[in-house]
Amino acid sequence: MSEPPAGMLAVPAGDFLGGTLRERRSLDAFWIDRTPVTNREFAIYARATGARAPSYFAEPGFLDRKGDHPVVGVSLFQALAYALWAGKDLPTEEEWEKACRGTDGRRYPWGARFDPSLCNTAVSDRRDTTPVAAFPGGASPYGVLDLCGNCWEWTRTTAPEDERLALVKGGSWFDPPGVARGDGRFTARPNFVSATLGFRCVWRPGTPFRTIPGSFRYAYVPPTPKRRPLQESPGEWADLIADVEGRELDLSSLGDEGSLLREWDVDAALAAAEAVLGSDEDELRTKELEALLAEAEQAFREGRGLAAEKALERYAARGGTDVRARELTLRLGSGELALRSFAPAFSAARVGPWTLLALVLVNLVLLVVQWLL
């Protein structure tokens, strides 16, 4: 997708002041939704894909009454699934802050002082969300609305003190002005849902693909103490079909919620490589990548964490290929394709020996129990 989806607002590249200390930071250009995703927009996505919508959608006449309110009661996983379907992403904390505070690090989108007439917070005493864009005077320097109050918004950024938690921004109708401000933040588990928590999306130049509606699906993995039965967790074998230049590619991720064992598998790497093959040299490079990823995957399955880590290090060093905690980028000859994992993930390098030992022991105990039964 070479152009941003309609209705998004540009945030130009450059420096800005972010965080509570107003530190100078820099970002590339990106586009952001003018308002949070609404109930009506999420309903269109849910009908197109069969995805689960918040339970309150079932109330008779709900969309007629609140179709233009921000969708709330969605987990990080649901928000990411919507963003993928729409060909977008969730913002990082820094992207969200720049869209809200501009370049001068202001406390609120409109300036330094709180104004209750420009947003929906606890002092408004509405005790619920309002339609998006109900406060045009509360726009940020880039014209973005509803960034403070109405509903918290998910970001892709994990909490510095605990990477199992995601940062949420902006405050809600339930929060006081001191919370609903541009530099404020809160944390939430990815599967957390609340009547005060929604999201909006961003688009960045070079986004490589948009997903085909209804394509995200899960397969079964036997539960263990760290693998709970599938609900809203992306923690099982997961297949995502992407449309890349008219070709359907099957992108798969491996891991379970909280396990730290997550990487793109062989099929995903091959699909990406095949999408951008441009020469025989690239084909040879792809075979090398296949072998290294197969080695890493086998080491994962056998609980040999150090071997898996070494294989991934060699994979990362080979041929301009970049393996990161949340993204796999293949640069092969004629182009580049970035594959993003479905939810916050962790690289193999972060798996410590005690974690691996614990996982191996748990699996051994389960095998013994199954044998006795």
Per-residue pLDDT of the chain (373 residues; tens, 9 = 90+): 568 888 899 999 999 998 877 889 899 899 999 999 999 999 999 988 888 889 899 899 999 999 999 999 999 888 888 887 888 889 999 999 999 999 999 999 999 999 999 999 999 888 899 999 999 999 999 999 999 999 999 998 888 888 778 999 999 999 998 899 999 999 998 889 999 999 999 998 855 444 333 222 222 223 333 333 323 333 333 334 444 444 444 443 333 332 222 333 334 444 444 433 333 444 555 566 667 667 766 766 666 656 665 666 565 555 443 333 333 433 333 333 333 333 333 222 223 445 445 545 655 666 666 566 5
What is the pLDDT at residue 370?
59
Q: What are the distances in angstroms from CA 85 to CA 10, 46, 79, 114, 362?
A: 21, 10, 10, 36, 37
Tokens (6 digits) for 215: 């394509």
Q: What CA–CA distance (Å, rounded) separates 344 from 346?
A: 7
pLDDT the model gives residue 301: 63
- What is the spatial distance between Cα 220 and Cα 229, in angstroms, rounded to a whole number? 8
Domains of the chain: 8-203 (3.90.1580.10), 210-372 (no CATH)
Structure tokens at 336: 């580049």
The secondary structure element, H or E, covering residue 274 is helix 266-275
What residues contact 222, with CB distance under 8 A and at least 6 apart?
A: none
pTM summary value: 0.60
Q: Which pLDDT score, from 0 to 100, does residue 128 have? A: 94
Q: Of 268, 213, 261, which Cα lies nearest the Cα of 236? A: 261
pLDDT given at position 160: 84
Pick from 6, 341, 50: nearest CA to 213: 50
In terms of C-beta density within 10 A (0-12 exposed, 13-18 middle, 19 or more buried), how is residue 154 classed?
buried
Q: CA-CA distance, 1 to 8, in Å (whole number)? A: 14
How far, in whole angstroms, is CA 95 from its chain's centroid?
A: 13
pLDDT of res. 329 = 39
Closest alpha carbon to 18 in 92, 89, 127, 122: 92
User: What pLDDT score was predicted for residue 213?
Assistant: 31
